[in-house]
């Protein structure tokens, strides 16, 4: 990684603290396996496939946490230029507006500025992935029945971060020399969610043309 990129992806710029996998746990071993195949320069389409004899829920859980950390970092790099003034609406161009809804304060879809939406999104995801009832860390503790539903919701909302960054802030990403890194992260994410059918096609529409060019 170039020095410029090291500065761009400096851990101090992370929008949120990273969730770590505990060494010695099965999840940590799976995380290492996933990283090893990426570092070996494996084709991303192959790298996302479920390893032989591994549990699908475990594999998805590891990737959800990893994508949360990476996308967090990507947003952190452009967050200074994403303000209530520059981005008063959380959107992906004129055709797509994303409204925030959760189980607590925002019970109806609510229009928010992009930074406010991002902040609520990252808090909401962090709560889920740190909840042992949803993302159990102990071997032998079963995943809840609704785990895949939760994972799908997290991933489809993380996709919206890519939409906003690509459509509204890509000039900033390019200025920082981070284009290749962001593109690789996006391709990895896209291949993963399509391999396991984790995001509806209609959610993927905003970046459809770009994805077609990037992910043949």
Domain boundaries defined on the chain? 3-13+27-214
82 is in an annotated binding site: yes
Whole-structure pTM value: 0.84
CATH 1.10.3720.10 fits 3-13+27-214, yes or no: no
Q: Say how far apart CA 101 and CA 109 lie, in whole Å.
A: 5
Q: What is the mean pLDDT of the chain?
A: 85
pLDDT in tens, 47-75: 899 988 888 999 999 999 999 999 999 99
Q: Is 133 annotated as a binding residue?
A: no
Mean pLDDT, rounded, for 10-22? 51
Predicted confidence at residue 25, as pLDDT, reads: 58
Taking phi over 0 as left and psi of -120 to 50 as alpha, with beta for the rest, 20 belongs to: beta
> Is residue 185 a known part of a binding site?
no
User: Is 164 annotated among the ligand-binding residues?
Assistant: yes
Asked whether residue 199 carries a pLDDT value surpassing 70, the answer given is yes
Spatial separation of the C-alpha atoms in residues 19 and 73, rounded to whole Å: 12
């Amino acid at each position: 990684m170039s020095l410029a990129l090291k500065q761009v992806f400096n851990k101090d710029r992370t929008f949120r603290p990273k969730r770590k996998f505990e060494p010695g746990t099965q999840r940590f071993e799976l995380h290492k396996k996933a990283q090893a195949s990426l570092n070996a320069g494996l084709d991303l389409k192959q790298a996302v496939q479920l390893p032989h004899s591994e549990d699908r829920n475990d594999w998805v859980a590891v990737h959800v946490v990893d994508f949360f950390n990476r996308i967090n970092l990507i947003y952190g790099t452009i967050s200074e230029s994403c303000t209530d003034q520059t981005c008063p609406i959380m959107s992906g161009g004129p055709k797509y507006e994303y409204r925030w809804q959760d189980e607590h304060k925002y019970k109806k879809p609510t229009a928010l500025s992009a930074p406010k939406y991002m902040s609520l999104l990252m808090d909401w995801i962090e709560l889920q992935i740190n909840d042992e009832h949803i993302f159990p860390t102990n071997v032998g503790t079963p995943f809840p029945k609704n785990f895949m539903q939760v994972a799908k919701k997290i991933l489809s909302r993380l996709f919206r971060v890519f939409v906003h960054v690509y459509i509204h802030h890509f000039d900033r990403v390019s200025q920082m020399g981070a284009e290749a890194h962001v593109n690789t992260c996006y391709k990895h994410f896209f291949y993963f969610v399509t391999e396991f059918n984790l995001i509806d096609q209609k959610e993927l529409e905003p970046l459809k043309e770009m994805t077609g060019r990037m992910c043949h």
